[in-house]
């Protein structure tokens, strides 16, 4: 039989022993920001009942610490929720059964290896910081979710995040070469390989991409990177109906053009943009189109073909 689940005080003391006093929170006021994801945070003001406090928040700074915490939690049957920047919107982060929220922001190492077209990063490295480091070296990690300014590499891998560039560049999964993961019982495993092509064996890393923290805690990610395209042109085409906008998008793709970005906007989106200060023409549908590349002539020609 597993030992009884410890109370908040006892849990806090056990975690402090593993990671130090400064890396554990157990006071209610400190736990509050961890009681919701980005979506629920907005609602809590109106529905204070939707407030699910964890028993403790722990901020590890190494794989060894993550392993110790998970082994302890597993033994005592305490739920653990890994957390990046907390920008997700689907409720995965809400500690409905209390337990431990594991905040990974301190594991934010970034090690560019652009000579091998890859970067090694800790789960807490932010997308923005990662790309700042890469762009200085002429490279980038393309999937760019709308939350790019805040979200973390661990959160992106765990949700297979993507953005408006998915049509050309794909989603996070397409860039994950290897992962270091700590399983629920504390075992550390390495999945995938740091090579561009690897065809042997089961692709277990892919099981973890998009697994939303349910299978283990990702403690290191190796990502493939792309040369940064210095030229980017963006335009917005407004249509009399959403169907017309959709048909045009399919026509562009059908002609073999792969825009860097192809985003369909409905009337409500256009209205929201205009209410927030833009002065776009009125319409029932629109396409946001982007072309990128190295050469002015090629980018200009692609934009011309789409227009
Ligand atoms: C304004 C806005 C725009 C957005 N736009 C997009 C978009 O365009 N495309 C898109 O895909 N998403 C989008 N999102 C959703 C969200 O931002 C992304 O899913 C993002 O990748 C989450 O990253 P995060 O660091 O905030 O992760 P969190 O929200 O902290 O966590 C997300 C999930 O991953 C798990 N997790 C986090 N770190 C780890 C780890 N190290 N190991 C194991 N599990 C872990 C968590 O438990 C949770 O289940 C948007 C959100 C907002 C608020």
CB of 185 closer than 6 angstroms to any ligand 1 atom: no
Q: Atom 15, ligand 1: which residue's CA is nearest?
A: 88
Average pLDDT for 172-185: 98
Pocket mutation for ligand 1, best pick of 88, 144, 183 (most atoms within 8 Å of C-beta):
88
Tens of pLDDT, residue by residue over 263-293, are: 999 999 999 999 999 888 888 999 999 999 9
In this structure, of 45-49, 70-74, 75-79, 176-180, the range with the lowest mean pLDDT score is: 45-49
Tens of pLDDT, residue by residue over 192-223, are: 999 888 888 899 999 999 999 999 999 999 99
Q: Which sequence spans correspond to the domains of the chain?
A: 8-103, 110-227, 231-306
Q: What is the per-residue pLDDT for 49? A: 78
CB of 159 closer than 6 angstroms to any ligand 1 atom: yes
Average pLDDT for 138-153: 96
Q: What is the per-residue pLDDT for 1? A: 60
CB of 143 closer than 6 angstroms to any ligand 1 atom: no
Given a cut of 70, whether residue 57 has pLDDT beyond it is yes
Given a cut of 90, whether residue 304 has pLDDT beyond it is no
Q: Which residue has the tokens 């809400």?
A: 94
**Could you tell me if 306 and 257 are in contact, meaning their C-beta atoms sit under 8 angstroms apart?**
yes
Give, in order, the Cα–Cα distances in Å from 139 to each of 133, 148, 177, 247: 9, 16, 16, 34
Q: Where residue 2 falls among pLDDT bands split at 50, 70, 90? A: low
State the distance from the centre of ligand 1 to the C-alpha of 38, rounded, in angstroms: 9
Q: What is the per-residue pLDDT for 4? A: 81
Average pLDDT for 178-185: 98
Average pLDDT for 3-26: 94
Q: Atom 23, ligand 1: which residue's CA is nearest?
A: 155
Given a cut of 90, whether residue 38 has pLDDT beyond it is no
CB of 158 closer than 6 angstroms to any ligand 1 atom: yes
Average pLDDT for 4-27: 95
Average pLDDT for 44-54: 84
Q: Which residue has the higher pLDDT, 25 or 1?
A: 25
Q: What percent of the chain has pLDDT over 70?
A: 99
Nearest Cα neighbor of 83 from 52, 59, 119 is 59
Read off φ and ψ for residue 257, nearest 5 degrees: -90, 135
- Other CB atoms within 10 A of residue 276 CB: 7
Q: In whole angstroms, how large is the CA radius of gyration of the chain?
A: 22
Report helix, strand or coil for 259.
coil
**Could you tell me if 125 and 152 are in contact, meaning their C-beta atoms sit under 8 angstroms apart?**
yes
Q: What is the per-residue pLDDT for 195? A: 87
For residue 222, what is the DSSP state? E
Q: What is the per-residue pLDDT for 51? A: 84
In this structure, of 36-50, 131-145, 209-223, 271-285, the range with the lowest mean pLDDT score is: 36-50
ipTM, two decimals: 0.99
**Could you tell me if 148 and 188 are in contact, meaning their C-beta atoms sit under 8 angstroms apart?**
no
CB of 124 closer than 6 angstroms to any ligand 1 atom: no
Given a cut of 70, whether residue 24 has pLDDT beyond it is yes
Ligand 1 atom nearest 82 alpha carbon: 47
Q: What is the per-residue pLDDT for 123? A: 98
Ligand 1 atom nearest 83 alpha carbon: 30
Joined together, the tokens standing for residue 156 give 């992106």
The CATH architecture that domain 110-227 belongs to is 2-Layer Sandwich (3.30)
Query: What's the per-residue H, E or C state across 162-189?
Result: CCCCHHHHCCHHHHEEEEEEECCCCCEE
Kindly report the CATH class assigned to 8-103: alpha beta
SS3 content of the chain, % helix, strand, coil (to 5): 35, 25, 40
The CATH architecture that domain 231-306 belongs to is 2-Layer Sandwich (3.30)
């Amino acid at each position: 039989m597993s030992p009884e689940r410890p109370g908040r005080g006892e849990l806090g003391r056990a975690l402090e022993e593993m990671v130090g006093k400064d890396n554990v929170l157990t006071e209610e006021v400190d736990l509050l920001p961890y009681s919701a994801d980005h979506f629920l945070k907005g609602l809590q003001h109106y529905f204070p009942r939707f407030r699910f406090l964890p028993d403790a928040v722990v901020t590890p700074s190494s794989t060894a610490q993550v392993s110790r915490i998970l082994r302890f939690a597993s033994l005592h049957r305490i739920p653990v929720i890994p957390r990046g920047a907390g920008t997700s919107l689907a409720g995965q982060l809400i500690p409905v059964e209390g337990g431990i929220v594991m905040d990974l922001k301190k594991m934010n190492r970034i090690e560019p290896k652009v000579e091998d077209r890859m970067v090694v990063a800790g789960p807490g490295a932010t997308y923005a910081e990662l790309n700042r480091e890469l762009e200085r070296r002429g490279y980038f990690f393309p999937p760019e979710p709308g939350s790019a300014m805040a979200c973390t590499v661990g959160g992106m891998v765990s949700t297979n995040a993507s953005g408006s560039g998915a049509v050309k560049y794909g989603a996070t999964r397409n860039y994950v070469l290897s992962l270091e993961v700590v399983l629920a019982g504390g075992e550390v495993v390495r999945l995938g390989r740091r090579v561009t092509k690897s065809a042997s064996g089961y692709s277990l890393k892919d099981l973890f991409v998009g697994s939303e923290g349910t299978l283990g805690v990702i403690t290191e990610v190796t990502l493939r990177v792309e040369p940064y395209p210095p030229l980017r042109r963006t335009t917005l085409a407004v249509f009399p109906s959403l169907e017309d906008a959709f048909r045009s998008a399919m026509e562009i793709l059908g002609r073999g053009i792969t825009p860097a970005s192809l985003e369909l906007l409905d009337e409500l989106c256009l209205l929201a943009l205009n209410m927030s200060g833009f002065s776009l023409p009125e319409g029932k549908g629109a396409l946001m189109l982007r072309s990128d590349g190295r050469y002015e002539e090629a980018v200009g020609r692609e934009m011309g073909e789409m227009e």
